Structure 1
Amino acid sequence: MPTVAVLTALPLEYTAVRAHLTHIEKRVHPDYGTRAEVGRLPGTPWQVALLELGEGTRGAAALTERAMTWLTPQAVLFVGVAGGLKDDIHIGDVVIATKVYAIHGGKETPDGFLDRTESWQPPHELDQAARHALRGQPHIHFKPIAAGDVLLSDADSPLAHRLRQRFNDAVAIEMEGSGVAQAAHLAGGAGALIIRGVSDKADADKSRADARGSQPEAAARAAEVAMAVLRELEPKEEEERTPEPPPHHGPVPTASTTLPPRPLGFTGRLADLGHLLTHLEPTADAPTAPPLLISAVTGMGGIGKTALAIEAAHQALSKGWFPGGTLFVDLRGYDDNPVTADQAVLALLDALGLHGPDLPITTARQYDAYQAQLARHRPRTLGGDPTAVLDSGSRGTDQYGRSLVLRPVLETSYRRLPPEQARVLRLLALAPGADVSTEAAAALTDLDEDAAVGLLEDLAAAGLVTARELRWRLHDLVRAFGAGLVAGDAELHEEGERARERLLEFYWRWANAADDRLLWVPGAPEPERFTDRRTALAWLDRERAGLVAAMQWAGEERHAQQLVGLAARLGVYLRWQRHFDDAIAVALAARDAAHKGGDRGAEAGAWGFLGSALEDAGRVEEAVRALTRSRDLYQAARNPHGEATAWGFLGIALHVAGQMEQSIDAHTRARDLYRGVGDRRGEADTWSNLGNALWKEDRTEEAIDAHRYALDLYQAVGDRHCEGMAWNNLGLALHEADRVVEAIEAFGRDLEICREFEDWYGAGQTLNNLARVYRDTHPTQARTHYLQAADAFTRANAPTEAADARARADSLPDA
């Protein structure tokens, strides 16, 4: 919704404006803590942001500038009370400033004080809206006012004489208007409209007028006038302002602990090969492998750099030089979105077995974990530091990315292919990831799997396709060549678009089914294909790179709607498996596609997905901004269910940011909205999150009540897994309240459910909590629970947590 900022100096002025607004909610500046309330003015398109500045010019100027950069309003109104300076200006009248004088600028000279007056006029459109809205109304004056850091209550003072002499057209005086007008002008806006209700005559009777209640009456009159102006004012058509997004990038690659197949017919590079092997050969100081080696093979595209590196690696391994094993990751140097160093680390950690809940959240900790994993696999593995990126750029390629060196060879090979093989090669070049599974290749080519495999094997025999671990890939240059063929021919282009649509249908169907299985609860319809969570996760793991890369097609209108839906289906999986980098990339693509297509509901959902992914990745301030944007879009679309979802995620992000009061408020709003639309499952989630925030604020009894509400709702809707989570949260709050017996019972109920779902990580957490309950009074039982927690964490492939639980068990005193 278009926003207008209404600023006041005094609480009574703030209250007078607030009385006109509905649907009011609090906003907090993420960096400075500045508070605002945002509401709607009924009968208008305006969203009104209301701020109290306090008294004084400097503070008013600073907060006005902050409000404009934070809230980006289309208009600024400063509303409140003033003292009248003219006999024909009566208490209760309203002055709309046609000019604001800053009365304290000047120079002291032997001849006296020389004024150096600054003044500001209101924006033309605000002035015109006010004149039209208030035409013919008595006691409304369009006149100049004076502003300065002084409270005038003596009509015979030197300042009063100076005002009559130097600013004789000013009809009222107040303290903050010049600061507001100047800041609004300097912040890039056209200025502000100053609206002041006259509460006194700026003379010795000021205190008596205030005592009679003139200030609230004048403030109420000024607020009424301000609302009349807004009802007349039309919003400007403008581009929506959105937070700056993180940069786009391709999917995180898949690394391997095995090398690609040895290049066939490797010849003619023996000198280069010998040079590389000399550097890889162990020495007396490092008898199994050099302690540190970073090598780069550079040169024009297509001359065989990758083949040279892989042959050298195979020979080094065959000589027994690297007994610790190998790591291989394709950095996609010829892609539009090559692999970043941070993405390479994630891939290498995954290949080394560190993924899911065990994966550190921050990038710095991921690098540390990678070094620690290498230390466990010493002598050090071939593959080196992931920041030592091989130079495989696109030098020596044409406009389609085809190698100028290899183009004649590729064109000759392509012309010799039978038509069906040529068609498969072209379509495989359009696959979104670096490689594809057999079933994805079958969908892309519109063949059954047996026929697709036969043709792919023929292409592999011709050296154009590589088969590795049940997946099929083209060399970067071959893929670029095939894509160039499609791009350069209208008929082939249409053939390629139909192939992409088939692949998207394949991804959409099975991602839907896999997501349904991940979210399945007893009693719900059985999802297609996947019999349990494990098989659904396995399929998503296999197809992840292609699914994420396909999201880059979302910018094309014909694919946008389907891919926006696909992004929503990937959210739970990417979060569970901690693929936060990919989640951010997916959310950005979905957001841009929805915005381009004018689908504000989908755009709101994508902003929410993005905010959740940013929060998971530890980028909390960015998450708060993205989730606030999601909430605003849902509000503008009048979608209470979506707004509830956004408030809930925003509450979680605020909790992580340590803004507990705001988190509690956000969860309360989410709860009320879910209750209003009858979503008991959503209401249960918000009760649970609200309970966690209350517990963090030491409001333990309230937290216990909240978790009991969540527990009852989860049981009512039959969500057994979340019921276990609610039991665990309730146990924590009960333990905090020293209700030990009840806490032990709650943890026991959660443990039973975790074992039922084979949620071994959750079981380990609950056993840890039980151990903490017993630690001070029954150390033997505490040790037993810690050891059981270690076993559960081991089953969940969480070695760090398992080691920590064993260490806690060992630290307990003997019975």
Structure 2
Amino acid sequence: MFSGGTVSMLVQGQHITVRLPRDVPDALRGLPPVSAVFTGRERELADVAALLAPFVPGGKGGGYAVSVVAGMAGVGKSALVLRVAHDLVAAGWFTGGAMFLGLRGYDRRDRLDPDSVAVEILGILGVPGEIVPAGAQARLAVVRTVLAGLADAGHRVLIVLDDASSSDQILPVLPGAGIHPVLVTSRHTLIGLDAPTIELRVLPDRAAFDLLATALQAKHPRDTRLRRNARAARALVGMCAGLPLALRIVAGRLATSPHLAPAALAADLADGARRLDGLDDGERAVRAALDLSYAHLLAADANAASVFRLAAESPGVTFTVDAAAALSGLDRVTAMRALAELERAHLVEPAGTGQRRMHDLVRLHAHSIPDPDRERAVPRLIAYYCTRVGEVGVAAGDSPALGTPEAAKASAARQWFIAERDGLQASLEHAANRSDHDTVITLAFGLDPYLDHIRDFAPNLRDLQLALQAAEALGRPHDAARALTLRGFALREVRRFEEAITALERARDLFAATDDLTGQARAWNGLGLALREVRRFEEAITAHEHARDFYEATDNPNGQAHGWNSLGATLREVRRFEEAITAHEHARHLHEATDNRNGQAAAWNSLGLVLGEVCRFKDAIIAHERARDLFEATDDLTGQAAAWNGLGLALWEVRRFEEAITAHEHARDLHETTDNPNGQARAWNGLGLALREVRRFQEAITALERARDLFEATDDPTGQAATWNSLGIALGDVCRFEEAITACERARDLFAATDNRNGQAGAWTNLGIALGEVRRFEEAITACERARDLYQATDDPHGRLVVERLLRSIREQVEAIEAMRDHATGKTAPPSDPSASGFSGSLTLFFPKREQPPPSG
């Protein structure tokens, strides 16, 4: 209770006496009612309460004089602060009650200025109108005096000022720090206030559905339409895009039309051109709320209003400053300032590095506002993209040495693509839908280096197919050949090898028809890479030789180097190791002559793999380390991963197993970073082999199972075969022989399906060992004989020698067992070695395990 009394003051030369009320004025106990339907804002309620906590009894003090809840029109700011005010007053936080005053900041005809706000507050505080002085300053002084009296009496008041449009509406009426907290709502971020701001966002789908359903059931508790029509309900939630005002309007329309099916309402709202008209229940309308925001914007900043209208035409969901400048026809600096104003007004929102987006309903509203320049907006944007993508496209795919101007250029190009990718992709599809073939070709070819660099092949394949169709429609065989070449490379990356071969053969023929030697060289080289993947090695060798010769004819040393490196990798597959070494050394020298460090790295890595095949393991280690360092210098994560994996295999050969484990873990992590599941599989496989050698058998099995699953997921039968073979060996290590037999049989069949006779030989060998372990000796001998014949057919004397020793060992075991049996039946004397009662071998790795080199060309 107040003690009552009077307060005298001198205001602008006038003596004013104000009699304080004896009790808290009734108006401070009468907040507007809070909506019974309120969901999905638990965190925000807690955040606002935390800002007000220092003002409550027992609080620590030092709270903010004013706090702001900001957000777009219709997002639920008023509902939130009203719920907070009701809850905190009911909890006894504010014994003086709370006042709620709507400032109508976005209604130009009815907006309250500070003088009017002071009059309203004095009325709420119970100050008689006849003693209210004239003039804003005098009235504001009286407001502060009365509020100070309430504070002196121990009654803090929560002051809620709703719908402020600027700091100017708030600053003059603040009661003073530490007296009473002020809670403000605004559609703007009020940068003129030194106040913490809670940005209120739209509701996520689950909370949006809860609000829609709760609002409908608040009017009709037995209404089950939304529950019975879940798909339509989800569609309605999507069309409201999480905006509480829109969700409440939809609930209102359903409530007033009990026979309206949610699916019918969803169909009515599906048309974007009519959606805002449908989001109107007679009392509330999304369009009306957004009209106020736009009118305020137009009066404050004509450039921002122009950007608002025309940025809505962006084909993509997001847009950048440069895209907004192109759409609006403004210069970049002006567009940047306009976007800052739109962001402050919550008419656009951040959407990633350098990107903005509009809420779906805001975008529809902006699109509905007439603008004489609208038809020119998208053509300006596409012209900008077509010019810029040609300047930065190639650079985005480069891997130049760090610290050079080329590195900075490549980094800048990639950052540009990251920001503009959504707009570029949407613009390409927009052009395709309108048969703008030139734009489709330009954007698809410009996007390819970047998408290839980040290994995002699915959209690249779609883009290049559209480019191919556009080139064919225009009758441009050269562009068609280029699209086919790029598409063939991408198809190979996603392991669609037969399609890749078809595309590259078509490209090769089209380039030949247009007498383009460089194009033919690239197509031949890509064709060789694809042929190698399906083990058509002789054809692949021929293709790479053609590529090399065409590159030589065009005096393209880097191209020649790629051709030599690809040729070497294929020669390695047919065990022509010395020729392969020569080819990789040619490639390396050519790349050194042109200072192509990334090319040098690829050649060193390929060379390391072949050196391992001829047991020059120390040289292989040096080669892989050199490759790794060069790939690191060129910021090529995929190359680094391949080099680490090759290094791990070479380290395994010289029994440096702990270092091999570390190398394969590096490879695995890098492949995960670049989202390369096939590369991850190879790294897991190498890791499993190394873990086995240090007797970490269960970890080895886990790693190999992970490799097997990844090879299956990437449809790589060769990788699956090798991993099944490795897994069979590891399972034998822990005496799980029946599972080992199954694994080796699976490996054998997969190697046979891919016509890999050397792999089959290794699988048959390991199968023979596993069969011997379970005393199925006749089958073991048959398996080893099959392995011996395959090693002979593949001209692998080492493999043949090993398996012949194994055969001899098995036969000796059989003879020993038979001798023991004969002795037991009294037929013969005891054997010279009575302990020889069974097979005593252990599973040993025989299958080819070398890493494939990174793609060239």
TM-score normalised to structure 2 length: 0.46
Specify which structure has the higher proportion of strand.
1
TM-score normalised to structure 1 length: 0.48
Higher RCO (C-alpha 8 Å, min separation 6): 1
Structure having the higher Rg: 2
